[in-house]
Amino acid sequence: MGQFITTRDRGVALIIEGMQQQRKERRIKQSTVKQNWERLKKQSIGFSQFDMDGAALDYEDTRMFSDILPNKAWKDQRCFIIGGGESLKGFEFSKLKNELVIGINRAYEKVDCTVNFAMDHSLYKWITKGDLGIEAKKKFTDFKGIKVWLDSAGYDYPDGIHILSKSSGDKLSNSLKNGIIGGSNSGLGALNLAVCLGANPIYLLGFDMKGKDGRQCWWHDGYPEKQKDGVYKGFIEGFKKVAPALERKGIKVINLNPKSELKCFEFENIDNIPVIRKPVIISFYTKNTGYEQQVEHLKASFKRFNLDSDVEGIIDKGDWHKNVYHKPQFIMKMLKKHAGRPIAYVDADAVIRANPVLFNNYNCDFACHFYNGEELLSGTLYFGNTRGSRYIVNKWREEDRLHPDTHMPQQNLRAVFDKEKDNIIWKELPVEYCYISGGRTELKGMPVVEHYQLSRMYKKTKTKQFKYTMKQSFIEIQEFCKDKRICLLGNANSILLKPHDIDSYDIVCRMNRGIPKGKEKHIGSRTDILFTSTGISGKNIQTGFNPKHLVWMTKCYRLASPYTLRNAIQNPTEDWDALFKKLSINPTTGLMALNFLIKHIKFKNLTIYGFDFFATRTWYNTRIDSGQKHSGKKEKVLFMDMIKDNPKIKFKGG
C-alpha cells in the first residue's frame, strides 16, 4: 500500500501554493482587463455603451462564458445539440451549416459548432496530450468556435478555454452567471446551457442513451476509458426530472433519433425541419490601418451565432474618402461570388450583438435603416442577390462615378434609392440593425448590429486640428456688407418659375449646394457669401461658387470639409442654440442665414428669394423634407416674426 498523502505534505503544499498564485495572477489580469474596458467604453470603442448584459469583444479578454454570450443571446432561435450516440455514424453534418450548434465533447472534430461544451477534465488532457490521436488534437487547436468547460473541480484551464460555473441541485438554471447543472451527464449540461441562452426549440442529435455489448459506444472512436452501458439509465433519469419544467416554460425539446431510449421528449426526423435561408455577412477593411484590428472583433462576433461570413482586406488607397467609395464595388463582387445567396453588408468597425434573425428568409431586393426616419445609413445593408438588388448596386456605382467628390457614397445611394425605389422590393431595417454606439436613438431591445464608427475617431482628430482655425471674428464680413444691398437666395424649386435680376444686388448670398451654373437666368451667377451646413468639398466650393466669404452655420462639425474648417467664419453656436430652443427642432441653413444677417450685419436693405418652407423641394434635390429634421410650419412662423416691421427687409417668397 502506498504512502497516504495529506495537505500537510510539503509537495502538496507547494502544488496548492502554485495554484493559488496562478489564480491570484488571473484575478489581477481580469481586474486590469476590466479597467481597460472601462476606458474603452468611455471612448465608445471596443465595448457597448448600451445598458445591457454586454459581451466582451475579444474572447481572450475574459474567462467566463457568460461574458461572451449573455443570457437569452439565442432567444427564441432553434439550436441543435450534438451528443455522442452511435446513430450519428455517417450523418451529414453539413446539414447543420450556419445553425446554432452546441457540440458535446468531441463534436468539434466533425462540425463547425458555435460552442463545444465539455465537463470532464480528463477529456481535456486526452485531447491536448494526443491520447485521442494527432488529428483530434490538431482539430481542437484549429477549432474557431467557443471552447467551454464546466468548472466542476476548480481546474485552472489555460487561455482559450472558457468556464461555466456548476450550479447546486438538479433543477434547471435560468442564468449562466448562476451556473448550470451537470452531474455526470454532459448532454444534460448542454441542454441547460441552451435553455440559459434562450434557445427554443432545442433539437437533440445523437442522444441514443444506449450502448453496445454492455459498454458505452459513440459515433467517434471513443475514449481511453469506457464505462458499462448501465450509466445511461442515470442519464435518462436526469432528463426525466427536468422535462416537466421545460414543458411548463414552453421550451420545446425534440429528439431527432426515433430509436433513442430517451423518450421523455417528442420525436422528429431532421429531414422534416424546414431549411432557413440565411445571408452571407460580408465586410471589407483597409490593411495596415486601425480597421485591421477592429475587424477581428467583428469576426469573433460572427462565431457567437455561427454566421456564414466573408471578410476581405483591401490595400489602403491612401485616402479615407477613396476607401469608402470601394463599398459598392465590393458588394457587387460578393453578389457574384455568392450567387444565389443573399448577402448582408456591415462595416468593419461593427460588432454583431444579437442573432440577426430578421435576415432569415428575408424576402426583398434591398433593405437599409433610415436614421430618425430620414437619413439613409449604409453601415448595415441587405441585398437579396436578386435582379433588383444587382440593379440597385449598379445604379449606385454609376452615381458614384457621376459624383466622385461632391457627395459621399451613402448620399449617392440615397439619391439612387429615391429614384429607383418603385422599381425594387425594399424594406426598412429597424434601428437595432444599424445602432450607432453611444447614440441616443431609442431601442426596443439590445442592438443586433452595433457600429463604433471608427471613421469618426479619425475625423474627430482632424476636426480638433482645424476647429479653432475657423474664423471667429466678424469684422471683415461686417465691413464688406456695411450699407450694401444684399440678396439672400433660398433653394426652393419655386425660384426657377421665373427669371430674377439677382446679379444687380451689391451682395449675393447663397446656401449649401445651390450652385448657380446653368440656372443664371433665374438665380444669377455671382456668389459673395456662401452659408453652408453640408459636407461640400473645398474644390466644389471654389469652382461652383468662388465666394468671397464662407460661413459655417451649424454647431456640428461632422460634415465640414477640411477646407471649410480652415476658411469659414463660424456662426456663433449660441445663435444656433437660441433658434433650436424656439423651434424645438433643428433650424435650417436659411433661417440661420437670415438670423446671422439681421443680428450681425448692418445692411442698407435685404431682399429674400427662394423660401417657401418646404412647400416644394429644393431645386437640386428629388424629395421634400419629411419633417423629421426640420419643421417648415414652425420656421415660417418664426421667419415672418423676425422680418415683420422691418422696412429694410423685402420678402419675395419663392
pLDDT digits (tens, 9 = 90+) for 438-459: 665 667 667 889 887 665 554 4
User: Cis omega before residue 547 (within 30°)?
Assistant: no
Write out the residue range of the structural domain in which residue 10 sits. 1-42
- Pairwise pLDDT comparison (212 vs 403), residue with the higher score: 212
Same domain, 6 and 86: no
In a domain, 99, yes or no: yes
CATH number for 612: 3.90.1480.20
The reported pLDDT for the residue numbered 48 is 39
Tell me the mean pLDDT in the region 618-623: 70
Residue matched to cell numbers 476590466: 34
Name residues whose C-beta falls within 8 Å of residue 577's C-beta, 6 or more positions apart in sequence.
555
Rg for the chain (alpha carbons), in Å?
A: 32
* CB-CB contact of 379 with 434 (8 Å): yes
Same domain, 257 and 159: yes
The reported pLDDT for the residue numbered 461 is 40
How far apart, in whole angstroms, are the C-alpha atoms of residue 198 and residue 175? 10
CATH number for 196: 3.90.1480
The reported pLDDT for the residue numbered 439 is 62
How far apart, in whole angstroms, are the C-alpha atoms of residue 438 and residue 450? 10
Same domain, 149 and 187: yes
Domain count, the chain: 4
- Within 99-251, residue ranges assigned H as helices are 121-129, 134-142, 186-196, 231-248
In a domain, 299, yes or no: yes
Going 571 to 572 to 575 to 580, the CA torsion angle's sign is positive
Nearest to 490 by CA among 617, 586, 403, 388: 617
Tell me the mean pLDDT in the region 139-164: 82
In a domain, 534, yes or no: yes
Residue 629 CB-density burial (10 A; 0-12 exposed, 13-18 middle, 19+ buried): middle
In a domain, 550, yes or no: yes
Same domain, 109 and 240: yes
The reported pLDDT for the residue numbered 64 is 76
Q: Tell me the per-residue pLDDT of 68-101, one tens digit each, with 9 for 90 and over.
A: 788 888 989 999 999 999 999 999 998 998 899 9
The reported pLDDT for the residue numbered 264 is 95
CATH number for 326: 3.90.550.10
In a domain, 435, yes or no: yes
Same domain, 480 and 553: yes
The reported pLDDT for the residue numbered 483 is 96
In a domain, 611, yes or no: yes
In this prediction, residue 4 has a pLDDT band, given cuts at 50, 70 and 90, of very low
Residue matched to cell numbers 451682395: 507
Same domain, 514 and 564: yes
What long-range pairs does 41-47 form, CB within 8 A, spacing at least 24?
43/457, 44/437, 44/438, 44/452, 44/453, 45/452, 45/454, 45/457, 46/297, 46/452
In a domain, 616, yes or no: yes
Same domain, 108 and 257: yes
In this prediction, residue 52 has a pLDDT band, given cuts at 50, 70 and 90, of very low
Q: Which of 404, 433, 460 is the last residue of a domain?
A: 460
Q: Which of 272, 305, 322 is the last residue of a domain?
A: 272
Same domain, 241 and 293: no
Same domain, 267 and 284: no
Tell me the mean pLDDT in the region 468-481: 84
**Three cell numbers at 361?**
428568409
**Three cell numbers at 22?**
496562478
Same domain, 436 and 479: no
How far apart, in whole angstroms, are the C-alpha atoms of residue 345 and residue 309? 10
Fill in the DSSP letter of residue 213: T
In a domain, 83, yes or no: yes
Same domain, 623 and 586: yes
- Pairwise pLDDT comparison (217 vs 80), residue with the higher score: 80
Same domain, 526 and 637: yes
Mean pLDDT of the chain: 84
Q: Which of 460, 480, 512 is the last residue of a domain?
A: 460
Fill in the DSSP letter of residue 215: B
